[in-house]
Amino acid sequence: MNITTLQKYLLTCLLLIIPAMAFNVVFTKRLPPAYQVDVFWKDIPGWLGTGENLFRTMVFILPVLMPLNIKTPRQRAGLGLFLFGTLVYFLAWIVLMFNPNGAWSTSPFGFMAPAYTPLLWLVGIGMIGDSLFFNVPYTPWIYIVLVAVFLCFHNTHAWIVYARIYR
């Protein structure tokens, strides 16, 4: 395997997942108590946790198989959506960290923002990763549907936690 081939396989859409993952690792402990693992996962039905984790795994693994290219108009639009969505996602966390008891943070819309804002940056990844490294039938809609299913589980989970704490 030469350097060009190696670079090709290293330049995957997984690189686009890294900023959010790094942000989560660094800042999760700074989120309000409701977001800490022992509270967030308390009394979540098994079917919900299993579905959420299964689809999360697919959504985070599939980008490894997608070449990172920004050549087509759809890929450029996807990059714009990814960058905008990542900024919105980070801002949602920042508001919760710095104003955990504010009206926004304790509202359903604010509390759940870290659960629904990934839709933007993940759909952006789907638009960028419009092919796979190997020749199988693939369309970006496959990834976008997986994202939608994951976020249905994830947002249901977040709603359960919100309702338990604020209702």
What is the pLDDT, as a whole number, of residue 167? 82
110-142 pLDDT per residue, tens: 999 999 999 999 999 999 999 999 899 999 999
What is the pLDDT, as a whole number, of residue 2? 57
For 12, list phi and psi in degrees, rounded to 5: -115, 170
The stretch 67-87 carries a mean pLDDT of: 97
Residues 6+ apart with CB under 8 A from 118: 20, 85, 89, 147, 151, 154
What is the pLDDT, as a whole number, of residue 10? 78
Residue ranges of the domains in the chain?
A: 12-21+32-166
27-54 in b/e form (b: 16+ CB < 10 A) is eeeebbebbeeeebeeebeeeeeebbee
pTM (2 d.p.): 0.93
13-56 pLDDT per residue, tens: 999 999 999 999 999 999 999 999 999 999 999 999 999 999 99
Q: Confidence band (pLDDT; 50, 70, 90) for 5?
A: low
